[in-house]
């Protein structure tokens, strides 16, 4: 009985000591970031994201498009995986102290595209990705052309918690 209580207590402490959440709203996530600032993984936070998109084949690079996304919130869920709030296709896996894998799951073709990136200064990262060929075949059907590719360059810049918030919390 004492062993069961000890193990339960140990597991509870381990879960509490690592900031993890299953958020139900953006406000809940902001509170989580603020209240757990010293426990957060460096990747966790709110980011401004710019996306450049273009297509190409063996002969031509097609004109691209640049857009700004709504702020993106990245958090560690209860399973220890990093998630992009509101986007179930994207997961981020930590490889080492500042190296991560950016994974995009394409349900139509059941394929995951993975890009490795380095978190710079705890605030910036770039994740260049391409839609896997199998997904393009699925999306384009009869219009698919061999060798056609669609690329995305995501540029993330952390805005919250701010550097000042980290400084004050220490």
Length of the chain in terms of residues written: 170
Cα 34 vs. chain centroid, distance in angstroms? 19
Dihedral pair phi/psi, residue 152, rounded to 5°: -135, 135
pTM: 0.83
Exposure of 110 by Cβ count < 10 A (0-12 exposed, 13-18 middle, 19+ buried)?
exposed
Taking only the tens place, the pLDDT of each residue in 38-96 is 999 999 999 999 999 999 998 999 999 999 999 999 999 888 889 999 999 999 999 99
* pLDDT for position 148: 93
Taking only the tens place, the pLDDT of each residue in 21-50 is 777 889 999 999 999 999 999 999 999 999
What is the helix, strand, coil percentage profile of the chain, to 5? Answer: 25, 45, 30
At residue 13, does pLDDT exceed 50?
A: no
């Amino acid at each position: 009985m004492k062993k069961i209580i000890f193990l339960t207590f140990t597991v509870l402490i381990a879960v509490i000591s690592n900031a993890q959440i299953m958020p139900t709203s953006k406000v809940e996530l902001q509170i989580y970031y603020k209240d757990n600032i010293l426990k957060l993984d460096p990747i966790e936070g709110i980011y401004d994201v710019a996306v450049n998109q273009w297509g190409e084949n063996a002969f031509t690079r097609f004109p691209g498009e640049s857009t700004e996304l709504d702020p993106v919130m990245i958090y560690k869920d209860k399973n220890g995986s990093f998630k992009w709030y509101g986007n179930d296709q994207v997961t981020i896996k930590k490889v080492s102290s500042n190296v991560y894998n950016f994974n995009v799951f394409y349900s139509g073709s059941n394929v995951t595209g993975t890009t490795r990136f380095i978190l710079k200064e705890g605030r910036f990262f770039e994740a260049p990705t391409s839609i896997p060929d199998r997904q393009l075949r699925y999306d384009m059907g009869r219009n698919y052309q061999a060798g056609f590719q669609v690329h995305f360059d995501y540029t993330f810049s952390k805005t919250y918690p701010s550097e000042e918030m980290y400084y004050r919390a220490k």
